[in-house]
Amino acid sequence: MDMFADLAFYLVAIVIAVAILASAVKILREYERGVVFTLGRFTGVKGPGLILLIPYVQQMIRVDLRTRVLDVPSQDVISHDNVSVRVSAVIYFRVIDPEKSTIQVEDFMMATSQLAQTTLRSVLGKHDLDEMLAERDRLNSDIQEILDAQTDAWGIKVATVEIKHVDINESMIRAIARQAEAERERRAKVINAEGEQQAAAKLLEAAEILAKQPEAMQLRYLSTLNVIASEKTSTILFPFPMELGNLMAIKPK
């Protein structure tokens, strides 16, 4: 019986030793850091590699430094021109200061998500619908700068913000389509009017040249006859002398 008791004692001692060793030895990957607390007080950031802790005296919290992707749920936004839209976005960020991300905020993922939602509504609400649709790069940059400045106290670096979808209700889509069609018609009319204006100016210029040089008018007349004669037609054309037309235009006294 004593032998079995001694064996049980040794087994228990081995188990306790293994448990103590397991709690004392930690291995951190290249993208991980360990925030170490000694008796509840912050004592440093360690890693990567092999980390030795004093069992039951020191505790360590692992922090992942890799870039994280956060989907911002669709938010109801009222644009500056009073159009109701639903906007969703995605945020890319990472921890750059493990100490701040552990001590300064309880859950930096939740805090960043909530801050991103309120910032998205605040920034987009200052712009018109046309700007939301046409100037996404500028809006992305504005949101990223605001988020990055506010999350700096948490040890968070917001690298990129991308607006994914701007959903508009059906009635507004029809209104935008009518507006686009009216704009195209307006541009077509302007282009047509500009063409008529340019053509009239060229005709006036040509008339002035022909008036100064009557021989040019005769050459133009002959060129026109040549074009008509080359066409397949049964009509016979006889040139009308320009001089005869001038004589007939003279009224007798």
Instruction: For 112-161, write each residue's pLDDT tens digit.
Output: 999 999 999 999 999 988 888 888 999 999 999 999 999 999 999 999 99
DSSP character at residue 252: P
Radius of gyration of the chain, Cα coordinates, nearest whole angstrom: 42
Please name the residues in contact with 75: beta carbons below 8 A apart, sequence gap of 6 or more. 86, 87, 88, 117, 120, 121
Spell out where the chain has E strands.
Answer: 25-28, 32-38, 41-46, 49-52, 58-64, 68-78, 84-95, 156-168
**Domain residue ranges in the chain:** 9-64, 68-168, 175-248
**Coil, strand or helix at 244:** helix
Q: What is the CATH number of domain 68-168?
A: 3.30.479.30
- Rounded to two decimals, the pTM is 0.65
Both tokens assigned to 98: 């493990």
Question: For each of the chain's 253 residues, which pLDDT tens digit applies?
Answer: 566 676 777 777 787 777 777 778 889 999 999 999 999 999 999 989 999 998 888 999 999 999 999 999 999 898 888 888 899 999 999 999 999 999 999 999 999 999 999 999 999 999 988 888 888 999 999 999 999 999 999 999 999 999 988 888 776 666 666 777 787 788 888 898 888 888 888 878 877 776 776 666 666 666 666 666 666 666 655 555 555 455 444 455 4
Closest CA to 117 of 165, 164, 77, 75: 75
CA angle 108, 113, 119 (to 5 degrees): 120
Cis omega before residue 48 (within 30°)? yes
Instruction: For 80-90, write each residue's pLDDT tens digit.
Output: 888 888 999 99
